[in-house]
Amino acid sequence: MSTLIGHDESVPSAVSRLTSDRTARRIATCCEAGLDVAAVPFFPLLVLVPRGTIPLLSVAGVCAAGLVLSVGGRRPSPALRFTAALLGCLLAWGTVSALWSVDPSRSLIVAARLAGLFAVGLVLAWAAERVKAPDRLTFLLLVGLALGIATAAADFVTQGMLGAPFTDRAYQPAALNRASVSFAILLLPASAVLVRCDRAILALISATLTAALIYVLAGTAAKGALLAGFSMGLLLYFWRARVARVAAVISVLIIITSPLSLAKLAQRAPLWEAADAVKLSAGHRLLIWSFTGDRIAERPLSGWGLDASRAMPGGKDLIRPHQTWMPLHPHDAPLQLWLELGVLGAAVFALLVALAWFAIAATYWPRLFAAAAGASLMAALMASFASYGIWEEWWLGTLLFVMFAIIVMARVATSRGYAPVGVAQLQTFGGRETTAEIEIHSNPAAARCGS
């Protein structure tokens, strides 16, 4: 992931060219303060008002853009530009898909929303390396995460009393699923940065309490994501580069072959019956995937149009009481890309996922934190492959904010105890890498997080 931010040629500040260096510094200070403020309420909002995170993310994006424009320095790395190009291709193809979409207006509306979200994500990733006080921002991010966890616990214990003023729906334990999956994704990186800041006991206590909360709450996706992330983190800690490359290959294979694999699971009666016995929603999920596979086979090249899952022919027909063939989306990111954007959409998604794994393989981040970041990526993919709609704004916004938080935390983790001399950089996608992980001891009395 660090390779997404890059070590490239320096450029002067855009703002300083228009005004003065002093004015540019003031704007940068104000914008960084805005990011500090946005860091605290994000996770509490995700618990109480998940859609409220989108305006907050937009504000953070504006602050990040102001910071980037006000601070001179490196251009975005080739890897970040490549990521932007891939997202641009996905967005352009999604917009064009409105021509044959079963719901053209919906496709255009979602394309416009994605343009904003992608822009915010890219500028946050770029700004994460421009923050002048990453220690302070990391501290506030950890405070926000702790407040979110405490809010979720209180809402669960009080059966929704905290969230009641923000919704007209009756309390359901599943209402906290969105928050719990975000905790599962960020838990290990947050713990790793605390360990790097000599707060190992605090990291152990907070991780134990958070994991316990996740397993008490109703969200199955969060439980699976945390377990998968922890397992991947262990492997990455010992064999990071090798495991990350294997994960990239496996991820690509899963995405490309999903219409021939996931979509066929319901045809295996013993598997479907076992899933149904464990949880009705699990058996329903397999039936949804089967229906999705049938629709993909009808339009494998072009797809049905961006976010057309909500309007699929036959999707609202009942399978059994209260269960339809397509409730809003396929609950699986690869299948949704195939269904809506065809082979091109699936291929671009596969490239984005592979790029993230190769970035983990090549990063210069400390061993513990790099493994934790890879665990976070695994948890996010696990949740995306088994649950939420990939275009849901709260979900994309959460993934983008977590990415920003991890990059900021990585700067703090890297500065504790060691300073990188050589920087591992991904030279070519899928090709050879040059890795330099020469580290030297820096001041062991470095300031602690948040000081």
The residue type found at 18 is: L
Tell me the pTM. 0.88
pLDDT attached to residue 347: 96
Beta carbons within 8 Å of 93's beta carbon, 6+ residues apart:
341, 344, 345, 348
**How crowded is residue 288: how many other Cβ atoms within 10 Å of its Cβ?**
26
**The two structure tokens encoding residue 304:** 């049905």
Q: Which pLDDT does position 427 carry in this prediction?
A: 33
Please tell me the predicted confidence (pLDDT) of residue 321: 78
Cβ–Cβ < 8 Å for 402, 181 = no
DSSP state letters, 18-53: HS-HHHHHHHHHHHHHHHHHHHTTHHHHHHH-GGGH
pLDDT for 381-409, tens place per residue? 999 998 888 999 999 999 999 999 999 99
Q: Mean pLDDT, consecutive 10-residue segments, the chain of 451 residues?
A: 44 52 82 95 93 93 92 75 94 96 94 96 93 94 96 90 79 85 96 94 95 91 94 96 97 94 72 64 80 91 92 85 84 94 96 96 93 97 90 94 96 71 34 35 43 45
Q: What is the predicted pLDDT for the residue at 148?
A: 95
Query: Nearest Cα to 225, choosing from 387, 424, 47?
Result: 387
Find residue 434's DSSP bridge partners. Answer: 425
Residue 299, Cα to own-chain centre: how many angstroms? 29
Rounded CA separation 404/123 (Å): 9
What is the pLDDT at residue 443? 40
